[in-house]
Copies of this chain bind each other. A is one copy, B any other.
Amino acid sequence: LSSADESFADVGLLSPVRVGTAVEAATGDRAFLQAMLDAECALVRAQAEVGVGVGVGADGVGGVPSWAAEEISAAARAERLDVRKIALRARAGGNPVIPLVDDLAAAVSARAAPYVHRGATSQDIVDTALMLVAARSLAVLGDDLRETAEALERLAARHRGTPMAGRTLTQHAVPTTFGLKAAGWRALVLDAAERLAAVRLPAQLGGAAGTLAAFGAVNPDPVNSDPDTGGEGCVGHPPLTPLTPLTLVDAFAAELGLAAPDLPWHCLRTPIADLGSALAFAVGALGKFAADVLLLSRTEIGEVAENLGGGSSAMPHKANPVRATLIASAARQAPALAAILLGSLTAEDERPAGAWHAEWQPLRDLLRLAGGAAYTAAALADGLQVFPERMAANLRLTRGLVVSERLVAVLRDLVGPGEAKALMGRVTQRCAAEGVPLDRDPELSALIPADRLVELVDPVGYLGSAAELVDRALTRALIPTSGTGTK
C-alpha cells in the first residue's frame, strides 16, 4: 500500500517540474512534520542547556532536565507518527501543532511529557519549521543554480564569438553572439542565487503573544537562590546575571542553525515575504532562459535543442523542448504565489487569523517550483545543443538588412542623415520585394566600393562589444552557497 492508494494525496502528478527532485522531498508533509519535531526538540534542548541546574519556578517554565530533553529528542521522529492523522486533527485548532504535541507527549514517558512544547505557541513551531524547510530547500536550490551557472558559463565562453541574430520585438535587429546571450542568462542566475542567499531565515520563539512571558526568567543568580553556598561558591567569580528568555531564543536558534530573531516575528513577516520575492525572482530568472530556449528551438529557427527532447507517442519526429516547457510552466505560477506571501505582510494583531495560515501552502509551492525549475535548468543548460551553422544561416535570412543600422551610419557620413534614411528605405524595399541582397544593391554599390560593401554587410563585423561584455560578465563569481540563509 502506498500513497498511490490514497486518493487525496498529491504525489506530483500535476507538477512534473518538481516531481522526484530533492526539493520535493525536502518540502513534503513528512519533511514538514520532521521540521516541526526538530523545532520541538531544539526547544527542550535549549531549555535544558540554558537552565541547567535550575529548578522550575512557579512563574515560568525555566529549565528542562537533560534527560527529558534527550528522551523527547529520541522520540521526535516523523516516521513514528501518522502525518495524515495529524493533518486531519489540525482542522480543529487550525494548525497541526496541537495534535503533534499530543502525539509527541504520548510517545514519551509520563514524567517527560510535561516538558514537551513548554511555553511555546503553535506558531513558534510552524514558523520555525518553515524556516528549516526553507533552509534545507535553499541549500539544494543553491547547488542547482550553481550548476546551471557553470554550464551557462561554459556555453558563454565557448560561443563568445558565435554570431547570431539579435532579435527585438520578434524581428531580427542587429547581430549579437550566442555567448552574450548565455552570459546574460548566467547573470540572471547569479542574481537569483545572491537574492536567495541574502534571505535571512530566523528561528521563531515568542510564546502566546510574542512577549516570551511563558518562558519565565531562567538561571537566576545561584547566590541568592541558595544562600548556603553563596559565600564559597562564588569566590573569584563574578555574580551571575539572571538569564532572560532572550538567551533561550538565541540558544534555540543556535540549536537549529537558524538566525536569531531580533523580535518574535509572528506578525512581522519579513522572512516569508523575502523568501517569496527571492524564490519568484529565481523562477523568473530561469523563466527567461527557458523562454529563449523555447523560441530558439522552434522548428523554423532551430538554433538550439535540448539533448533529450520529449517524445510524442503519435508523432515520432517531434523533439519537444520539455525541460524549457516545464521551467516556463513554473515561471507562470511563481509571481502570483509570491503576491500571496507579500499580501500576508498585512497581518493584524499579535498573531493573525488567516494571513498566517495562507502562507504555508504557497510558500511550499514556491519552494517546489523554484527547486524544480533550478533542477531542470541545470540539466537544460548542461545538455543544451547549439547549432552555430543554423545561427549563421538565420543571420543571412534578411540578406543583409540585419546590419542596416550600420549602413545608415556609414551613409550618414557619405550623403547626410536625411538622404541616408531615404536611401536605406529604397534599399530595404528592393531587398524585401525583389530579394536583392544588400551587398549587390545598385544604389549602395554606386556609393561604396564592392569589397567594402561586402565587409559592411557581413554581420560578423558588426558585433560591437559583445565579446568584451561576455568577458566582463564572466568575471563575476557565483557566491558560495554554503550556510545559506542561516547567519
Contact = CB atoms under 8 A, between A and B. Distances in A.
A98 interface: yes
Interface in A50-104: 56, 58-61, 78-79, 81-88, 90-96, 98, 101
Interface stretch (A212-220, A225-233, A478-486): A212-220
Interface in A1-36: 1-17, 19-20, 24-26, 28-34
Contacts of A26: 7
Max chain B C-beta neighbours (<10 A), residue from A269, A315, A339 = A315
A263 B473 CA distance: 7
Interface string A315-326: 111111110111
Nearest to A432: B317
Given A8-B28, A94-B16, A348-B295, A210 B166 contact: yes
Given A211-B465, A349-B168, A354-B328, A316 B262 contact: no
A387 interface: no
Q: Give how many copies assemble into the complex.
A: 4
A86 B13 contact: yes
Interface in A424-456: 424-425, 428, 431-432
A408 interface: yes
Size class of the A contact interface (CB-based, 8 Å)? 35 or more
Given A246-B469, A465-B244, A472-B246, A30 B6 contact: yes
Interface stretch (A39-47, A144-152, A171-179): A171-179
Given A101-B313, A288-B345, A336-B337, A294 B170 contact: yes
B332 A169 contact: no
Contacts of A94: 16, 169, 310, 320, 322, 325-326
Given A56-B413, A208-B174, A287-B346, A332 B355 contact: yes
Contacts of A174: 207-209, 211, 213-214, 315
B340 A336 contact: yes
A16 B87 CA distance: 7
A410 to B, nearest CB: 5
B332 A344 contact: yes
Contacts of A349: 166-170, 292, 295
Contact of A326 (B1, B91, B285): B91
A378 to B, nearest CB: 14
B343 A335 contact: yes
A342 B339 CA distance: 10
Given A92-B310, A328-B353, 13 more contacts: A5-B30, A10-B28, A19-B90, A93-B311, A93-B322, A166-B349, A167-B351, A169-B320, A173-B315, A173-B351, A288-B345, A317-B432, A325-B357
